[in-house]
Amino acid sequence: MFKRVLGMFSNDLAIDLGTANTLVLVKGQGICINEPSVVAIQYDKHGQQRILAVGQEAKNMVGKTPGNIKAIRPMKDGVIADFEVTEMMIRYFIEKAHKRKGFFSPRIIICVPYGLTQVERRAVKDSAENAGARYVYLIEEPMAAAIGAGLPVKDPNGNLVVDIGGGTTEIGVTSLGGLVQSKSIRVAGDSIDQAIVDYLKKNFNLLIGDRIAEELKIEIGTAIPLEEELKTTVRGRDQIEGSLTSIEITSEHIREAIQNSLKEIVDALQSVLEQTPPELAGDIVENGIVLTGGGALIRGLDKYISDIVKLPVYIAEDPLLAVAKGTGIALDELDILQQTAYED
């Protein structure tokens, strides 16, 4: 009873717990937190850990920390790599949303990477419950992405969404409020960044970190040839000389570096299309494919995919926000929730 009364005053939360970015949306108010999923931990003399920073502040420390501080991405490749730190991060973000708005035990829906194990799902739920949630629901990412992209997921009509995040690319075919087909591969933003690191090392003997690789991808990365190719200067360490050096890199280099990753994404998409029942495949031919997630922002990726699969490809509005928006809509619409969220 007490909980129910409290519930009347609470503002429910939707959380997109991404491997690269975590977004928190407050019911009726929109997105209030949008920060990298990074935690900086400091270790004292006795090996005790405490949180130094979370989110953007922590990401700025990646690769620059002294020995007793570690900047950790607790979720990697679509799995929880560090349970303890993931819990700290979830609590931190919930409390941050709480403090600012003064909530009492909210209901929380969390969008988790598709294919988490039972143990991982339990850990996410426990963290949110420990942070004061009254109920915790989980939703699968391809469904949240489809809802957030504005697709009519409840209709008896096949819709296909490809969410290219940091850790995973998730492909889902929705119909009648459920996922009819889905596939998740660990090729997405992070592995594309890694491909750029490897390429520069192999072809230019240049050593760079993940963050520089990500910046190169965003600044000059492209999936297709550009009318005017882009270029930039990269600083790094010469692998042979050991000295600091800088070289000029073009969008053609980055395209070459990332082509295998993009091909793997399209291969996964094609395998989902092949497995989709004919009626729904017919719908997809008509409706086309929608891209969400930060990876959708790679220049020309829509055209690249469309040329190979011979279907129309659209980029969702604000692809980086689609999953959070979809999770927020699921929170508003219990009928969607009942079909797609699962309680463990």
Ligand X SMILES: Nc1ncnc2c1ncn2[C@@H]1O[C@H](COP(=O)(O)OP(=O)(O)OP(=O)(O)O)[C@@H](O)[C@H]1O
**β-sheet bridge partners, residue 173:** 160, 181
Among 293, 302, 326, 336, binds ligand X (CB under 6 A): 293
Q: What are phi and psi of 16, to 5 degrees?
A: -100, 100
- Is residue 218 part of the contact set for ligand X (CB under 6 A)? yes
Q: What is the rounded CA–CA span in Å between residue 294 and residue 324? A: 12
Cβ distance to Mg ion smaller for residue 52 or 161: 161
Q: What is the DSSP string of 266-317?
A: HHHHHHHHHHS-HHHHHHHHHH-EEEESGGGGSBTHHHHHHHHHTS-EEEPS
Least distance to Mg ion, CB of residue 266, Å: 19
Least distance to ligand X, CB of residue 281, Å: 25
- Is residue 18 part of the contact set for Mg ion (CB under 5 A)? yes
Q: What is the DSSP string of 115-173?
A: T--HHHHHHHHHHHHHTT-SEEEEEEHHHHHHHHTT--TTSSS-EEEEEE-SS-EEEEE
The 3-state DSSP composition of the chain as helix, strand, coil percent (nearest 5) reads 40, 30, 30
For tokens 């793997």, the residue is 264
Among 110, 320, 329, 336, binds ligand X (CB under 6 A): 320
Please state, in angstroms and as integers, the Cα–Cα distance from residue 228 to each residue in 23, 38, 247, 250, 319, following that order.
35, 36, 19, 11, 25
- Give the H or E element holding residue 331: helix 322-332
Least distance to ligand X, CB of residue 216, Å: 10
Cβ distance to ligand X smaller for residue 53 or 110: 110
- What, of ligand X, Mg ion, none, does residue 311 touch, CB below 5 to 8 Å by kind? none
Residues 166-205 vs ligand X: string with x where CB under 6 A? xxx-------------------xxx---------------
DSSP state of 38: -
Please state, in angstroms and as integers, the Cα–Cα distance from residue 127 to each residue in 85, 95, 120, 162, following that order.
10, 12, 11, 28
Length of the chain equals 344
- Is residue 326 part of the contact set for ligand X (CB under 6 A)? no
Cβ distance to Mg ion smaller for residue 143 or 249: 143
- What, of ligand X, Mg ion, none, does residue 328 touch, CB below 5 to 8 Å by kind? none
Residue pair 85/52 in contact by the 8 Å Cβ criterion: no
Q: What is the rounded CA–CA span in Å between residue 22 and residue 33? A: 8
Among 62, 297, 308, 311, binds ligand X (CB under 6 A): 297
In the structure encoding, which two tokens stand for residue 137, read together?
A: 């629901």
Least distance to ligand X, CB of residue 137, Å: 18
Cβ distance to ligand X smaller for residue 23 or 53: 23
Among 55, 78, 148, 165, binds Mg ion (CB under 5 A): 165
Residues 51-80 that bind ligand X (CB under 6 A): 78
- Is residue 113 part of the contact set for ligand X (CB under 6 A)? yes
Cβ distance to ligand X smaller for residue 131 or 258: 258
Cβ distance to ligand X smaller for residue 38 or 281: 38
- Is residue 324 part of the contact set for ligand X (CB under 6 A)? no
User: Using CB under 5 A as the criterion, which residues of the chain lie in contact with Mg ion when the complex forms?
Assistant: 18, 165, 323
- Name the residues that contact ligand X, by CB under 6 A: 18-21, 78, 113, 141, 165-168, 188-190, 214, 217-218, 221, 293-295, 297-298, 320, 323
